Amino acid sequence: MGNEAVAYSLFINGVNVVVGYPGTPSTEVIETLKNFQDDDFYVEWSTNEKVALEIAAGASLAGARAVATMKQVGLNVAADPLLSLSVVGVEGGLIVFVADDPGPHSSQTEQDTRNFARFCNLPVFDPSSPKEAFELIKPAFEISEKYNLPVLYRMTTRVCHSNQSIEFELKREKRRIKGFEKRPDWVILPALSYKKHVELEKKLQDIKKDLSVYNRVEGKGKIGIITGGVSYFYVKEAIKGFEDLFSILKITVAHPLDDEIVLGFVEDKEVLIFIEELDPVLEEEVKLILFENGKLLPVYGKRNGYVPFAGEFDVDKVRNIFYKILSDEKFLVRNTFVDVLQIPKRQAQLCAGCPHRNSFLIVKYAMKGKDVIFTGDIGCYTLGFAKPISTTDTCLCMGASITMAQGLKIADRSKKVISFIGDSTFFHSGITGLVNSYYNRHNITVCILDNLTTGMTGFQPHPGTGKKIYGEEGRKVSIEDIVKGIGVEKILVIDPYSDFTENVNKVREFLKDEELGVIIFRRECANMGSKESYLKINQNCSNCKGCMQITGCPALKEDENGNIFIDSALCNGCGLCKSFCPYSAIEKVMKDD
């Protein structure tokens, strides 16, 4: 897998410190690296991406090779230190590994990290395959150390999660960490920032020449295609059999882009086509170079509507782009994937027995008949928006449930506002929002759904688990103590698997007054640990299907005759459906019975 290839290459090339926050499609880099151990190698899951990048920056200033990993929205969180690091500089090689998610498959945005490279004036590598991702780690470290700058390493879901055979020797490069040396320019002040900015612009001109070798021209046709990343392979496949018509400029380093290779490429071209996922980064860079050098030729890309801005590409989409531009029947595609098995679409839903389902419904029934706004957050529990749970009205970004709830309460005081946030997300970026709510007297209710792990990305530990990345003991951070330390006095802790009616009454009483309060719903993720029991339907069932319609649990199914049954392989005996059955038709069965 592409992420595994990056991990192996990092280890081989002597990385000393690897830190990050889990987020699909970036997670497997650290998940792979945690299987390695060496006397000069350290890896951790950090509290959030800003923390991770600042740890990596500190290690770099001491001369260590360091990497911070994250997905594209995580880079937003880490943008503050990244922008300053581009001016302050680094000592040991520092790679900022960012996984973009065109599609998107598992993200709230499709943002393009190459824009951050331009924004920060930093070089960015954009590998197109796992093999290339493996090979480019070494020059990324070397460029970082030569110019004392962080290097962005942008991959996309298709490269991160595709597989390729790579042969290599697992031999680690040993490097001596020289240690931190005090220098006045490690402290960034306005006057020094101006001076460093001037130096940075000069560095970029030299970096252009060094990095141009990673961009290459293929073919001699009069139709020029400029592409990069995984789109390069879509292009290669799309023009198969017609290669003589085209030539390709494959851009591996999107910024800074060397003028000479671009001008040499366009010299004999009749037309230029830009094939790149998401933003027109290459298109805009190349157009600027052509304009500055008085080169005029027909250009087709995103800006004039020939190439889509949004979504992930594939070979068919690229061939259809060529057909639209060239009006040539040989590129007209009738979906080459028609023989592939079409997976039936289904509504995204929480897992069977997920404690979040219980928590949502406890609050929903406690507030039945009331005018309530429910703000959601990023994690498994975003699925609280799905029917029949329907207790998520907003979702923006990590930690925003608590702060958006405050804004909604300010603007619409007549409504009760309740936010839902997960345990890992609370540690990531929810704490400051709760501080603000306490400080400014915003009377909202915050529900922290604590399933004792980072569930959505593969059960990574966080400060609330007390476990570090290798499973060794860290220090456990108590959510209750944080909440009390802020000053919040009204706190309720609930096991969402315990008696449903009793929990509804507790929450209803808790929410009676208009004041800031925190409810902690604590129960281990249903996918962790062993199942001790499951539920089954007995002869009392009237087949009313109320349990299915109320809970939406995927363990509740219908057979070919329309009769309801419980899939014992999925059920973990949480008892939620049992709480809603008016006929006592659901009973618990111990696994050993």
pLDDT value, residue 582: 92
Residue 553 labeled ligand binder: yes
Residue 160 labeled ligand binder: no
The arrangement of strands across the sheet holding 66-71 comes to 42-45, 17-20, 66-71, 94-100, 151-156, 124-125, 253-255
Residue 395 labeled ligand binder: no
pLDDT value, residue 331: 78
pLDDT value, residue 350: 92
Over residues 151-176, the mean pLDDT reads: 94
- For residue 270, give Cα distances in angstroms to 242, 280, 296, 516: 16, 21, 10, 66
Query: What whole-number distance in Å separates Cα of residue 134 and Cα of residue 126?
Result: 12
Question: Strands 445-450, 271-275: parallel, antiparallel or unpaired by DSSP?
Answer: unpaired
Q: How confident is the model at residue 471 (pLDDT cuts 50, 70, 90)?
A: confident
Tell me the whole-structure pTM to 2 decimals: 0.91
Structure tokens at 224: 């020029």
Query: What whole-number distance in Å separates Cα of residue 23 and Cα of residue 455?
Result: 11
Contacts of 306 (CB under 8 A, 6+ apart): 273, 300, 321, 324, 325
Residue 351 labeled ligand binder: no
Which domains are delineated in the chain? 2-211 (3.40.50.970), 215-331 (3.40.50.920), 355-522 (3.40.50.970), 533-590 (3.30.70.20)
From 138, 123, 108, 132, select the one nearest 15 (Cα to Cα): 138
pLDDT in tens, 581-591: 999 999 988 87
Listed in order, strand segments (DSSP E) in 349-410 are 372-375
pLDDT in tens, 395-430: 999 999 999 999 999 999 989 999 999 999 999 999
Cα first-last separation, the chain: 42
Residue 577 labeled ligand binder: yes
Over residues 12-29, the mean pLDDT reads: 96
- For residue 462, give Cα distances in angstroms to 45, 159, 353, 423, 466: 7, 27, 22, 8, 7
pLDDT in tens, 512-522: 999 999 999 99
**Is 530 exposed, middle or buried (CB count within 10 Å of its CB: 0-12, 13-18, 19+)?**
exposed
| Side chain identity at residue 238, one-letter code | A
Whether residue 335 is predicted with pLDDT greater than 70 in this model: the reply is: no
| Side chain identity at residue 341, one-letter code | L
Provide the percentage of residues in the chain whose pLDDT is more than 70: 98
pLDDT in tens, 88-140: 999 999 999 999 999 888 888 899 999 999 999 999 999 999 999 999 999 99
Residue 571 labeled ligand binder: yes
**Is 218 exposed, middle or buried (CB count within 10 Å of its CB: 0-12, 13-18, 19+)?**
middle
Over residues 429-454, the mean pLDDT reads: 96
pLDDT value, residue 340: 59
Query: Which of 231 and 191 is assigned the larger pLDDT?
Result: 231
Over residues 177-200, the mean pLDDT reads: 88
Q: Length of the chain in residues, anyone?
A: 593
pLDDT in tens, 342-379: 677 777 889 999 999 999 999 999 999 999 999 999 99
